Amino acid sequence: MRMNAKSAIRYPILFIVPALVIYMIFFIYPTLSGFYFSFTDWNASSTEVKFVGVQQFMDVVQNPDFTLALKNTFLFSITTTLGKNIVSIALAVFLTTALLTRNALRAVYFSPAILNIVAVGLIFQGLTNPDIGFVNHMFRALGLDWFAQGWISDPKLSIHVASVMEIWRATGITMAIYIAGIQNISRDYYEAATIDGAPAWSKFRYITLPLLMPAVTINVLLSLIYGFRMFEGIYFLTQGGPGTSSEVIMTMVYKYMGQGLYGYSTALNLILVVIILIFSFPILSYLRKKEVEG
């Protein structure tokens, strides 16, 4: 049966409209309503929602816990972004060589990425427990008692332990993207470099890294954004403690939402969104300029 012009137009619309409705309901509406409520005093103890303008944001900025949470958020995001990408590139280069066990090793290094982040947080909580944790037991068994620390109970160490946990968990994902990028690089470049007598480091610096920049752009942005938005891993590892020493913006959002301060929480979340946008676009622009055609 032949389809006329009107039917040819109607059928795609029948598929697009439901998708747009779902997108509007579950994304656009919550985003716009969250933006509005961030300028109100919406809370669980009052039935009336009042518009307070930027006062909500001024209260957030003047909160001493926000300063610490902002510092921890930046520290966590930058540390995990650098750690995941540096380790992943090294693993990707190693696991694209003529190694007999490379496929098995790829599976081993990727395996933490398939674990639920809540489970990872609880596992690391057990491993780094100051009294009964495996890490301190291992150091004591090796006679390195001085190296046994209160990893998650020490305010100076807790956020760093959370960063190590995230690097361990997510390195496999970024590694897989880098492996795909390296495999798409023509072997002709390496053969020409070998003929010219270029050492391994020169091949990596002048061939692999420049041609891998599209993958670097993807991984750096995803790691940075995910680091800014981290909640589950830190919450289930340290609950933002000891005290507020490992508090990040998303754990603050959760804490104040639980206290019924909904307007305050949405203001915090909006500040985080603005921070992500401010940092993501310049980094994206810079990395895109570094990309070269293969």
* CATH code, domain with 239: 1.10.3720.10
Mean pLDDT, all residues of the chain: 89
Q: 53-62 long-range contacts, Cβ below 8 Å, gap at least 24? A: 56/263, 56/264, 56/267, 57/267, 57/271, 59/264, 59/267, 60/264, 60/267, 60/268, 60/271
**pLDDT-based confidence at residue 3 (cuts at 50, 70, 90):** low
Q: Assess if residue 36 is contained within a domain.
A: no
Predicted local distance difference test score (pLDDT) of residue 25: 86
pLDDT at 125 over 70: yes
Q: What is the pLDDT, as a whole number, of residue 1?
A: 46
* pLDDT score for 248: 95
pLDDT confidence of residue 10: 65
Residue 73 lies in a domain: yes
Q: What is the pLDDT of residues 148-183, one digit of tens each?
A: 888 898 999 999 999 999 999 999 999 999 999 999
Question: How many structural domains comprise the chain?
Answer: 1
Question: What pLDDT, in 10s, does the model give residues 196-211?
Answer: 888 989 999 999 999 9
pTM, two decimal places: 0.89
Which pLDDT band holds residue 131 (cuts at 50, 70, 90)? confident
Please determine, for residue 8, whether its predicted confidence score (pLDDT) is greater than 60: no
Query: What pLDDT sits at residue 84?
Result: 96
Confidence of residue 256 (pLDDT cuts 50, 70, 90): very high
Mean pLDDT to the nearest integer, 87-91: 95
Q: Is residue 182 in a domain? A: yes
Range scoring the smallest mean pLDDT among 22-31, 147-156, 203-212, 264-273: 22-31
Residue 211 belongs to a domain: yes
pLDDT digits (tens, 9 = 90+) for 223-239: 999 999 999 889 989 98
Domain-embedded: residue 134: yes
For residue 5, tell me if it sits in a domain: no
Closest-CA residue to 125 (of 135, 116, 115): 135
- Indicate the pLDDT class of residue 145, thresholds 50, 70 and 90: confident
Q: Range of 184's domain?
A: 57-290
17 located within any domain: no
Closest by CA position to 86, among listed 171, 157, 166: 171
Say what the pLDDT of residue 6 is: 57
pLDDT computed for residue 4 by the predictor: 56
What was the pLDDT predicted at 11?
A: 63
- 3-state SS, the chain, equals CCCCHHHHHHHHHHHHHHHHHHHHHHHHHHHHHHHHHCCECCCCCCCCCCECCCHHHHHHHHCHHHHHHHHHHHHHHHHHHHHHHHHHHHHHHHCCCCCCCHHHHHHHHHHHHHCCHHHHHHHHHHHCCCCCCHHHHHHHHCCCHHHCCCCCCCCCCHHHHHHHHHHHHHHHHHHHHHHHHHHCCCHHHHHHHHHCCCCHHHHHHHHHHHHCHHHHHHHHHHHHHHHHCCCHHHHHHHCCCCCCCCCCHHHHHHHHHHCCCHHHHHHHHHHHHHHHHHHHHHHHHHHHHHCCCC
| Max avg pLDDT among 42-51, 80-89, 257-266 | 80-89
Q: Per the domain annotation, does 39 fall within a domain?
A: no
